[in-house]
Amino acid sequence: QVQLQESGPGLVKPSQTLSLTCTVSGGSITTNNNYFTWIRQPPGKGLEWMGAIGYSGSAYYSPSLKSRASISRDTSKNQFTLQLSSVTPEDTAVYYCARVARPAMVVDYWGQGTQVTVSS
């Protein structure tokens, strides 16, 4: 059974960089079967896909976040990381890491989510 767990600070100040790590167990992030993604949900709004990283380490981003987001991985720890620079209060959201199954490209496993608040 694949499990994903988000970790990182729950409070970030405006203009700083938000950094979150997703630890994956029960499945390898280096296989060619899946993508690993970050999705967020601001208060009162829907889910927003942020980006994903594939088995080769290639990363893909939502056009609205491409200039600020970076997704990387540590294969030795089976982890992948989100960095979002120059944050504002509009970046306040519950952040989820998730696995996207190929070839259907649907989420099959979710992390529990972690609340991140951007405030001074």
Band of residue 11 on the pLDDT scale cut at 50, 70, 90? very high
At residue 114, the pLDDT reads 98
Residue 102 clears pLDDT 90, i.e. is over it:
no
Residue 33 clears pLDDT 90, i.e. is over it:
no
At residue 31, the pLDDT reads 84
At residue 95, the pLDDT reads 98
Residue pair 108/102 in contact by the 8 Å Cβ criterion: no
Residue 99 clears pLDDT 90, i.e. is over it:
yes
At residue 43, the pLDDT reads 98
Band of residue 64 on the pLDDT scale cut at 50, 70, 90? very high
Residue pair 84/39 in contact by the 8 Å Cβ criterion: no
